[in-house]
Amino acid sequence: MEPVTIWTYDWVPAGPRGFVRDLRLRWACREAGLTYTVATVRFEDRETGHLDRQPFGQVPFLEDGEVRLFESGAALLHLAERSEVLMPRDPAGRADVLQWTIAALNSVELVTLPWWYLAIRGDADNGVTGWMAQRLDHLERELAQRDWLAAGRFTVADIVMADVLRVKRVRAFGSRPATEAYVARVTARPAFAAALAEQMEHFETADRARATGGD
């Protein structure tokens, strides 16, 4: 099969490194044994330069032959169609993976990301803290019952959910041991470590190019 192309920024400041969402796609490809190349858009031009390719000025986007997708969640569901490692093929297993992937994006990250957005602007005890605690409590109840979110095994749903939850500040409110164990379990996978190291190296290479006058 042809390699896919993962698009990310050419460079980002130190803060978001390790959390730019191209990591989700690198991780998924590595789990699935899909080969990929990485291409870049300029971070400095993100508001003007690549809106034609990503309408919200974000990364990542994915190219797979003639298909191009933005939204990391959409790209992950697309990759899941290419590999059973990421999603089983039976209808019940597929539905389970689909519902938990969407839950990570639309029930958990929908609260944790706005909470974090307010928190880094100085208000960690903000108007969505209670709502976030409730969602995380519900999730803790689920994670206390099993090792993986969906289909009785690791799937793409775990990539999204663990990537949402591994933001430590988000988990700083309350004690949720099953959630802690879950994040440790999913991020202990070699494909996560490799994807993380690769993203860090990508931006460090950009630093070196800048330092030597490259662009």
Per CB under 8 A, residues contacting its own copies are 51, 55-58, 65-71, 73-75, 77-78, 91-92, 95, 98-99, 101-103, 105-107, 109-111, 113-114, 117-118, 121, 123, 126-128, 131, 135, 138-139, 141-142
| CB of 4 vs its own copies, minimal distance in Å | 12
Output 19 or 117, the one with its CB closest to its own copies: 117
Strand pairing category for 4-9 and 36-41: parallel
Estimate the crossing angle of helix 177-187 against helix 129-143, to 10 degrees.
70
Of 169, 213, 202, the closest CA to residue 7 belongs to 202
| CB of 73 vs its own copies, minimal distance in Å | 4
Output 22 or 203, the one with its CB closest to its own copies: 22
| CB of 90 vs its own copies, minimal distance in Å | 10
Output 70 or 198, the one with its CB closest to its own copies: 70
- Beginning with the edge strand found earlier in the chain, give each strand of the sheet holding 67-70 in spatial order: 36-41, 4-9, 61-64, 67-70
Under 8 Å between Cβ of 89 and 120: no
Under 8 Å between Cβ of 206 and 43: no
| CB of 114 vs its own copies, minimal distance in Å | 4
